[in-house]
Structure 1
């Protein structure tokens, strides 16, 4: 019993000692995985193989991101479920009716589908709403303006994602061109979710969130610039 009591502080001290390196390690993992993916898609000569790794990359990114979220509570869990479902179901509506975004279909790159939409799309919506919401929330502005800025950050990223998505079989647009309705629809859905983010009662702090957004932006900007 005394040995157990004495070892507990030692374990806590060790955890505290290495915790300060957690952010740097997480950022390094993000950069390495996205860097390898970028090289694989552009220069390996086997982009199809690296396309198949997209779901794993997305899952890893989210695992790292949400491991840095603190003070989990019911409000946050509800927020995550609602954003996942709204994002996913808006895509289901879009794919089957052409409403919201336009006429498009999903390819095989993003993995398992339900109702012709990859399940990971809901997770992607959650990641983007959460990261951009946290970035805009650092500004000392009215909550409505913060929601607008978060929305604009999401649309900015989508602008670079769309051509890349068609190139690598994420999804494809009817006629091969991206309609303006896609960005209008993205803005509308994203703005509603950003409003929810601003008013939801959960802890809004995550040191990794800005890096996740930045890595994603640089990744797709590089692919976009070399299409």
Structure 2
């Protein structure tokens, strides 16, 4: 059953709220926890159109366990992200990791998962055959884009987490991105295995008939992130921030670099995904 006009309008309103939530979070507004909660609520409303409540809970559970294990392990041992620790800026912690981190992984991971389906032209809610591996792989690359544009500011001017030995990318080491890829790939691959094992029982009966608006709404967060970074570049402030390794970084350079990176990652993926959804619609239209 196709989404009717009223439902489509409702979901676009929700997508607009998502822009606000993602944008204010990345802009460093003082309510990151509230914004992540809003993101999770929006993700739930979007995801439960395709996945059963049980599948949704499994994805949330996998994300919570895997992200916390990897993050706490890295803070204690340095593997897989590197040597870092969280400041008190993000609130209460579970062991050494703020409680808000796992929901943030969950929300951004969900949209990366959906974008991977678009890029691979996989409309099935349940990956099959080689897509059981390909969807998690592509979703992991797409997911790391978030960290590529977010971490430099959060780890320096934002002060949300601290890299003890610094790094070449505005105080962030290469190991951080390798660790992120490993972490999110583990999450996606476990979820793909779950969906493959559960079969049709993992998805809603109407899952394969969602309209194009469903896919466009999953693209909105990527546009939002890129727009925020562009706005930050246009309103950049002069100044210097020093990382724990003693390296000085120009705030203007940080803003310009992350904006430029977002153009060829977030903007590009959003544009390509939008074109692919539109092309898919044309291919399904009888001539």
**TM norm structure 2:** 0.62
1:216 aligned residue: 225
Contact kept in structure 2, 1:134 and 1:209, CA below 8 Å: yes
How far did residue 200 of structure 1 move? Answer: 2.8
More helix, by proportion: 1
For the aligned residue pairs, the C-alpha RMSD in angstroms reads: 2.6
2:184 aligned residue: 190
1:161 aligned residue: 150
Contact kept in structure 2, 1:108 and 1:169, CA below 8 Å: no
Matched, 1:225 2:215: no
Instruction: Kindly report which structure 2 residues correspond to 1:174-189, keeping only aligned pairs within 5 A, or say none.
Output: 174-176=164-166, 177-189=171-183
How far did residue 110 of structure 1 move? Answer: 1.8
Contact kept in structure 2, 1:103 and 1:174, CA below 8 Å: yes
Change (3 A) 1:36 1:100: closer
Distance 1:130 1:152 in 2: 13
Give the paired residue count.
202
Matched, 1:171 2:169: no
2:121 aligned residue: 140
Instruction: Kindly report which structure 2 residues correspond to 1:10-159, keeping only aligned pairs within 5 A, or say none.
Output: 18-35=6-23, 41=27, 50=29, 52-69=30-47, 70=49, 71-138=51-118, 139-140=120-121, 142-143=130-131, 144-159=133-148
Runs of 4+ in 1 over 4 A off after TM superposition: 33-38, 204-207, 220-224
How far did residue 188 of structure 1 move? Answer: 1.3
Q: Which moved more, 1:91-100 or 1:210-219?
A: 210-219
How far did residue 189 of structure 1 move? Answer: 1.6
How far did residue 121 of structure 1 move? Answer: 0.8
Per-residue deviation, residues 176-221 of structure 1 (Å, max 9, x unmatched): 3211111111111222222223333233775433223442354356
SS at match of 2:52: coil
1:6 aligned residue: none
**TM norm structure 1:** 0.77
Contact kept in structure 2, 1:61 and 1:212, CA below 8 Å: no
Show structure 2 runs of 5+ residues with no match: 123-129, 196-201, 233-253, 258-287
Show structure 1 runs of 5+ residues with no match: 1-15, 42-46
